[in-house]
Amino acid sequence: MSHAPTSFLRKYVFSEDHKVIGLQYMFTGMFMGLFGGFLAYIIRSQLADPGSAVAGFGEVSNVDYNAMVTMHGTIMVFWVAMPVLVAGFGNYLIPLLIGADDMAFPKLNMASYWVFALSTVVIIASFFVPGGASGTGWTTYPPLSANSMYSAGVDWGINFWILAVALEFIAFLMGGINFLTTAVNLRAKGMSLWDMPLFVWEEIIATIIFMLSVGPLIAGAVMLLLDRTAGTGFFDPTQGGDPLLFQHLFWFFGHPEVYVLLLPALGILGEILTTCARKALYGYKMIIWATIVAGLLSFVVWAHHQYVTGMDPRLATPFSVMTILISVPFAVTMFAFIATLWKGSIRFTVGMLFAIGMVAEFLLGGVTGIVNGSAAADIYIHDSYFVVAHFHYTLFPIVLLAPFAGFYHWFPKFFGKHMNRPLGLIHFAGTILFFNMTFLPLFNLGMMGHQRRIADPSLFEYLAEGAYLQEIATIGAIGLLLSQIPFLINIAYSLLKGRAAGPNPWEGTTLEWTTESPPPHGNWSEPVEVFRSAYWYSPPDTEADFIPQNEPVQEAAK
Ligand SMILES: [Cu+2]
């Protein structure tokens, strides 16, 4: 075991401890989440009352609006979901769940966070460069993004966008190497791959998907940068290029990316549902195989984002079929989660409520995805608010509900203190209520023919009909933001005055609960050994799956 660092700088800033790095990622993501949420407030206020000043911001020009939409999407995916779900929880939990004292490469881990921190500075700086933040949409499609002739040359924001995303990818590739090596090499004595808790499996499958899909997007980004700065014409038809090429490169990454975010979220759910239902995880191996199948399928569905680009309709059919097929493994996972709850003696902690809420809301997102995935339906609803509603019903549960669940669940482990329950319940109720109030009306708007990315719907007579729905959605969004205040108060209050939690407040059976809260540097004073061969949630020969396991069934060597 390495010696614990003593200076403040080595302990909390340039730390090599996976737990500190995990929390750094988590809190950076949380800060960016507030930032991205504020952008959503500007967008929604403008849509409800076009043309008038937005309180706290001023009037929103069309250029501003495009930048807000672009940066909201960009920040929520790359600077909230990725750092919180993949890096934050991944860093904190992987070593603890497999009985390791730290990540395989602690220095690389520290470098990963600081490259990410730099990317955060760059993306924030992009608001202040000539031309302001990128307004090309989070997908940065050319020709809009490629050629200065569309933007009179003052669009440094796009270069900053590309640089920031590139830096973030470097950070996550470094993190990914660490996750894989740690899971393969540093498991506790006695723990096979098939004994690893679900969260670890989900994280490493997500990491592999990320590593395999990110290459084409990096190539696309380099070509885009060359088109913008060196006069090449990869995406410029007048020079023999093709803007559609970028869409293929982007979505070859972009669709798998959804699973890079989804899988850690499912992993968090798996841990919380089993712990708080006090039951074995139903179908542990089945879930993992389903996840691997979904991971493979995720590489052959990307063109479902491009049905209306003029691609060959014969090609649309296989992409539709694959897209609808990919819902099967996730349906398997969801049913396994529900079966895990079945006849459990459920402890409704705030974390558990968020976990159950996540399953319920995400189902709505998944089911509406089947509608979008079919080319015949998508050609009608493409680029409408139906799509906006659909992906917020998938991404909000993934990016916010699952991390909230995880944060409440492991907060006692992170800091050795309980969070305040009444404040947590207010946070939960407000979040779920206002989330639905914000996004349910958007399905209707989409069906009514409202197109997204129109800064001022009042300019179009046919859009007037949906104005009241835009207003409801905006009230919902403001309520949703305000509902986060009790959460922030709760963190501060619980850190200062929270009840002491002890090592295992939820009677969990995974290894992180066998050490102190917060775990010391090195996690355990002695190397951990696991005596039970089978995965403890899911003993072989099934029926046992249904027996509540209240007592910890594996022991760590002392
Ligand atoms: Cu997709």
Q: Which domains does the chain have, with CATH numbers?
A: 18-546 (1.20.210.10)
> Which of these, 509, 532, 85, lies nearest to 281 by C-alpha position?
509
Distance 461 CA to ligand 1 centre (A): 32
Contact by Cβ (8 Å): 131, 151: yes
Supply the pLDDT for residue 161: 94
DSSP 240: T
* Distance separating alpha carbons of residues 367 and 42, to the nearest angstrom: 29
Distance 379 CA to ligand 1 centre (A): 15
Distance 255 CA to ligand 1 centre (A): 4
Contact by Cβ (8 Å): 515, 524: yes
Distance 263 CA to ligand 1 centre (A): 15
Q: Using a CB cutoff of 8 Å and minimum separation of 24, what contacts does 429-434 make?
A: 430/479, 430/480, 430/482, 430/483, 430/486, 431/357, 431/400, 431/401, 431/404, 431/480, 431/483, 431/484, 432/357, 432/361, 433/479, 433/483, 434/476, 434/477, 434/479, 434/480, 434/483
Supply the pLDDT for residue 437: 98
Distance 139 CA to ligand 1 centre (A): 12
Distance 243 CA to ligand 1 centre (A): 19
* Distance separating alpha carbons of residues 439 and 448, to the nearest angstrom: 15
Burial class (CB in 10 A: 0-12, 13-18, 19+), 109: buried
* Distance separating alpha carbons of residues 347 and 421, to the nearest angstrom: 13
* Distance separating alpha carbons of residues 358 and 408, to the nearest angstrom: 14
Contact by Cβ (8 Å): 298, 231: no
Distance 453 CA to ligand 1 centre (A): 19
At 320, list the tokens: 């539709």
Contact by Cβ (8 Å): 378, 372: yes
Supply the pLDDT for residue 558: 34
**Residue listed under structure tokens 């899988």:** 263
Distance 172 CA to ligand 1 centre (A): 21
Question: Helices (DSSP H) in 49-89: which residue ranges?
Answer: 62-74
Supply the pLDDT for residue 152: 54
Average pLDDT for runs of 10 along the chain of length 558: 71 90 97 97 94 88 92 97 97 95 96 97 95 89 72 76 95 96 93 91 97 94 89 89 93 95 96 90 92 96 89 88 92 94 92 96 92 87 94 97 98 96 97 98 93 87 87 97 97 96 89 92 88 45 38 40
> Which of these, 163, 156, 166, 133, lies nearest to 65 by C-alpha position?
133
Question: Which residues are in the CB-under-5-Å shell of ion ligand 1?
Answer: 255
Supply the pLDDT for residue 147: 65
Distance 244 CA to ligand 1 centre (A): 16
Distance 302 CA to ligand 1 centre (A): 5
Distance 298 CA to ligand 1 centre (A): 8
- Global pTM reads 0.92
Distance 491 CA to ligand 1 centre (A): 35
Contact by Cβ (8 Å): 98, 196: yes
Distance 304 CA to ligand 1 centre (A): 6
* Distance separating alpha carbons of residues 511 and 509, to the nearest angstrom: 7
At 231, list the tokens: 């006069």
Strand partners, 417: 500
Distance 174 CA to ligand 1 centre (A): 25
Dihedral sign for Cα atoms in the order 29, 32, 34, 37: negative
Distance 366 CA to ligand 1 centre (A): 11
Distance 77 CA to ligand 1 centre (A): 14
Distance 443 CA to ligand 1 centre (A): 18
Distance 73 CA to ligand 1 centre (A): 15
Distance 415 CA to ligand 1 centre (A): 38
Distance 142 CA to ligand 1 centre (A): 19
Supply the pLDDT for residue 190: 83
Distance 492 CA to ligand 1 centre (A): 38
Direct distance between the N- and C-terminal alpha carbons of the chain, in angstroms, rounded to an integer? 15
Beta strands in 4-89 (DSSP E): none
* Distance separating alpha carbons of residues 425 and 420, to the nearest angstrom: 9
Distance 213 CA to ligand 1 centre (A): 13
Distance 301 CA to ligand 1 centre (A): 7
Distance 391 CA to ligand 1 centre (A): 10
Nearest 5°: the CA angle 533, 538, 543 is 120
Contact by Cβ (8 Å): 65, 455: yes
Distance 93 CA to ligand 1 centre (A): 28
At 281, list the tokens: 């995880």
